[in-house]
Amino acid sequence: MSTSLYDIPLKKIDGSDTTLAEYRGKVVLVVNVASQCGLTPQYEGLEAAYARLRERGMVVLGFPSNDFAGQEPGSEESIAAFCRGTFGVQFPMFAKVNVNSAPRHPLYAALIEAMPRMQPNPDGTLLAKLEQHGLAPRQEGDVAWNFEKFLIGRDGRVVGRFAPDVTVDSPQLVQAIEAALAD
């Protein structure tokens, strides 16, 4: 994350103002999340990874978005209650953002600019299904769907971008997280 990325204004899910500056020096996994998606059970793995790795300097950050088939229609309050009540989410959650729709949130604009292409799941079928149903990203660099992940190293650089069906326990993401934690 460049200094400007640390300075991008954000809102936490409780409505308070913040920036990513509080995570400087940590490995950060930014995930656009949704409560009514087939991938929503990934919250469980994301929370488990956060609990297991936070002492080593990793943080998961959840950014709800309603950009994909209206799968995050609720208010911040209802999203927070769902995440805590259903999956025990303790990792930081933020107010809803636009990841693809206009106006794209400046955080996502910066993340996409830094890493325009994602690593697909080599065994996954999600991207093909999205294409088949006319739901593939419209523009080069667009986020494909809910639960796409951006990995940011301790030095603030985006070091990875992973398809939505690459779970936090997938070997390719585990390897990237471990490498980032080792730096």
Say how far apart CA 3 and CA 156 lie, in whole Å: 8
Active site residue 83: no
Side-chain-facing half-sphere of 166: CA atoms under 13 Å: 23
Say how far apart CA 7 and CA 107 lie, in whole Å: 10
Catalytic residue among 6, 12, 18, 37: 37
Which residue is it, tokens 């959840």? 62
CA-CA-CA-CA torsion sign (183, 1, 84, 130): negative
Catalytic residues: 37
